[in-house]
Amino acid sequence: MSRVALVIQYLGTHFHGWQRQPNLRTVQEEIEKTIAPVGGHSVTVCAAGRTDAGVHAAAQVAHFDYFGYIPGERWASILNARLPEDILIRGSAEVPLTWHARFSASWRRYRYTLYTDKEPNLFVKPFSWHYYYVPLDESLITAALKPLLGRHHLAAFRRANSSRSHSWVEVQAVECYRRGPLLQIEIQANGFLYGMVRLLVGTLVEVGRRRRSPASFTQLWIEERREEVKYSAPAKGLCLLRVGYPEFPFPRKIWFDTQPTFL
């Protein structure tokens, strides 16, 4: 048996998320059913982070176990020749059986994109939340983000059916910046609670539009006032940017390529 790791890019628009579900088009199922006939047996593909319906991935990481002789690095091109247009394998490699896409990961980084021009724009529509009703002050959002750095209990930003046993999150990096009409928020953490980024962004937007001060935002999660976290930002603005591993099994090039600087 060998273990194969994949770096996967996908447009979330036409998927019901990563995880396999009966009668729904999911990324996991598309990849599994593409591997099976080539590999000669059915497989389960395990991802670093299970993205929701509509969420995109610049570089999801996943692995599967395989009984056969196809070399690890060959899988990328084999699968790309067979996968639908909205999934792309950016790289593949054989990894030790002790390496696990989800449990070996030391961090995930997500980016949320808001599009702030009044006029809609076809080129960014599938990848952003069109938010133009009120101007957003990114310095206030940054001020609200900073106290999140470090290890905190973030149950306030957790949706009901989370599979995790606890709500401790170590936030490693936060950023908020403008690029032309785009306002982007990046958060890197050891792990994320179910719905966390979208609930965070939904509440940060209240800060940006001066409905809530950065200090009150911080009070909200310190005091775990979950009932005040009312808004979840739309899925299509969210993108899983990167997954970090102490030992990244892919060539460095793949790693750096995954940053979609243009979006």
The residues binding a second copy (CB under 8 A) are 9-11, 56, 58, 80, 85-88, 90-91, 117-124, 127, 179-182, 253-254, 257, 259-263
Q: Of 31 and 199, which CB lies nearer to a second copy in the complex structure?
A: 31
Question: In angstroms, what is the minimal distance from the CB of 261 to a second copy?
Answer: 3
CA distance 106 to 1: 25
Question: In angstroms, what is the minimal distance from the CB of 92 to a second copy?
Answer: 12
CA distance 100 to 104: 5
Q: Of 9 and 104, which CB lies nearer to a second copy in the complex structure?
A: 9
Question: In angstroms, what is the minimal distance from the CB of 9 to a second copy?
Answer: 5
Q: Of 207 and 243, which CB lies nearer to a second copy in the complex structure?
A: 243
Sequence-ordered alpha helix ranges (H) in 75-195? 75-80, 138-145
Residue in 181, 184, 153, 155 with CA at minimum distance from that of residue 169: 153
CA distance 231 to 228: 9
Question: In angstroms, what is the minimal distance from the CB of 30 to a second copy?
Answer: 13
Is residue 65 among the annotated active site residues? no
Task: Please list the residues that pair with 108 across neighbouring strands.
Answer: 189, 243
DSSP state for residue 97 in the 8-state scheme: T
Sorted by sequence, the CB contacts under 8 Å of residue 109 that are 6+ apart come out as 173, 186, 187, 188, 240, 241, 242, 243, 244
Q: Of 10 and 245, which CB lies nearer to a second copy in the complex structure?
A: 10
CA atoms within 13 A on the CB side of 148: 31
Q: Of 31 and 193, which CB lies nearer to a second copy in the complex structure?
A: 31
Sorted by sequence, the CB contacts under 8 Å of residue 169 that are 6+ apart come out as 151, 152, 153, 154, 189, 190, 191, 192, 193, 196
Set 52, 65, 86, 117: catalytic member = 52
Question: In angstroms, what is the minimal distance from the CB of 133 to a second copy?
Answer: 16
Burial 75-86 (b: 16+ CB within 10 A, else e): bbebbeeebeeb
Q: Which residues are catalytic?
A: 52
